[in-house]
Amino acid sequence: MPGASSAREPLIMTSQGEHSQLVIEEESNLEETEDVGCRRRCPKILIAFIAIYLVILVLFLGVAVKLRKTSAYPHVIVIIVDDLGWNDVEWNDPDMRTPTLKALLENGVLLNNSYAHPFDSPSRAATFTGMYPFHMGLQHERMDPYTPTFLPDNFAMLPAHLKKLSYKTYLVGKWHLGFCDWKYTPVKRGFDSFTGFYTDHLDYYTHRDAKGHYDFRTGEMVDFEAEGTHSTNVIVGRAGDIIRNHEVAVPLFLVISFQAVHSPVQVPQNYLNETCAHINDTSRRAMCAMAAMMDEGIANVTSKLRDKNMLGNSVIIVTSDNGGVTAQGSSNGPFRGENGELYEGGTRVMSLVASEYYLSSKGYTYNGLFHQVDWFPTIVSITGTPIPKDLDGLNHWHALSTDGPSPRSEVVYNIDETYNNAAIRIDDFKLIEGSPNFTHPGHPGHTQAPQLYDLSSDPGETNNLAEAMPEKLEYLRSRLESQRKSLVPAVDKGKAIASDPSLWNNIWSPGWC
């Protein structure tokens, strides 16, 4: 239209209108050229961008899938060694061969003041319930398989609690907490699965006691497939099967309860003649061999966890149920006493906790006081869920994982009204009343004289300070008496004729109480 400017004309014309128009046309042509170039290049850039985006997305999804396969709670592996002495590990005695346990400490914490009941059944009861045995009527020795003794079912067990958090719970190995009725057996007390034995003092290969009574089950069924295979190998093999078949996204609670290193001393010759051949003393060499085989089994378990991509999300606990038996070649030095005694040698036990991820501090020794009752609340604390109330146990997880102070200043070793003895430790001082070696009142060796020791300067309990420190003695006595008020009388029902395995096809069996 006349008087209207072209779409390509400038809004203001100059005296060099024609030239300006040319410049504008050239610029326009340049823009068209750039548009053409973009149409050629941009698709390639866009494709490259999309490709990079897809790669990132795939990587992200891969991580997400991996995370979805990881349990929300840590896998917890509790390994209980039977009668392992303080010196039966290589960091306390270089002649021992326990490299796996030592390696665990690189990502772990060694508990230097960890205590247990001097007998195995009460010790295991404390571990699984968070309660002192004298609060359950279980303070008096081990459970005799001929008597209707058991862990009372009014005390909740750790596996039953963890099942509420969606854990799959397994026990492989020794139970020794009662079996006279099916309701007292592992699969009725919180374990989804059980493979092992109810009693103790069994042959490692035949899984029979001295009278030929068989004791090995899977679930409620007698398991004769184990017969002829060393119990350490059976236990490790079954534990490996559990790990291999476990769904990684489901939290695992696996208790591996070794028969080793309990008597009788039975071990393949290669551990005696090769692994521990450097030890001249016959009984000590045998103990080295038993511990080495057990340690090798633990290595097999950790390897299975690693193969299943579960090790990084696991917490591994290893503890002995009580001190070692010196007659079997065990050593509890520098402590006095042994298995079955209230002295440190019977009650102060090797314990460690290891985790690649969950420990903020690791590779150190935790010197805080600790008792087996503390495992229950400490394990629950790792999950970040509320801890049951009214436990004797205390939660040490923050202290263990950060090298912090222990929440415990007092440990009750035991209170036994049958033997009329008891012991307590408060800070560094320890009081023993009655005979520390569980002789009955009136029998030779029994004494009522109190024994007071300062364990910080006298870990061997050789210098009795009872007369020299009467005020300290009275203070510990008053605390012990305060604890005695809550004692539950020991269960002692006597032997039951119906328990005799000869009435059950020579198999230790439930169903007689």
Q: What is the full DSSP assignment across 371-409?
A: EGGGHHHHHHHHTTSPPPSS-S----HHHHHHT---S--
d(CA 456, CA 250): 44
Neighbours of 120 (CB within 10 A): 26
Contacts of 433 (CB under 8 A, 6+ apart): 421, 422, 423, 448, 450, 451, 477, 480
Please check whether residue 258 is in contact with residue 197, taking contact to mean a CB–CB distance below 8 angstroms.
no
| pLDDT tens profile 394-404 | 999 999 999 99
Gap between the terminal Cα atoms of the chain? 114
Distance between CA atoms of 175 and 193, rounded to whole angstroms?
A: 12
Contact criterion met (CB below 8 Å) for 461 and 145 = no
**What pLDDT does residue 47 have?**
55
Backbone Cα Rg of the chain: 33
Instruction: State the chain's maximal CA–CA distance in angstroms.
Output: 135
Q: Record the tokens describing residue 206, joined without a space.
A: 């035949």
Q: How far apart are CA 333 and CA 453, in angstroms?
A: 17
Given this model, what pLDDT does residue 289 score? 99
Q: Are strands 75-81 and 314-320 parallel, antiparallel or unpaired?
A: parallel
DSSP assignment of 106-169 equals GGEEEEEEEE--SSHHHHHHHHHHSS-GGGTT--SSSPPTTS-----TTSPPHHHHHHTTT-EE
Nearest to 128 by CA among 187, 177, 197, 182: 177
Q: How far is CA 439 from CA 144, 316, 372, 420, 445, in A?
A: 18, 37, 24, 9, 7
pTM, to two decimals: 0.86
- Give pLDDT < 70 ranges for the chain: 1-70, 438-447
Helix (H, G, I), strand (E, B) or coil at 143: coil
Q: How far apart are CA 384 and CA 354, in angstroms?
A: 18
Nearest CA among 116, 120, 114, 115 for reference residue 82:
120
- The Cα 121–Cα 172 span in angstroms is 16
Length of the chain: 513
Q: What pLDDT score was predicted for residue 446?
A: 64
Whether 281 contacts 312, CB under 8 Å: no
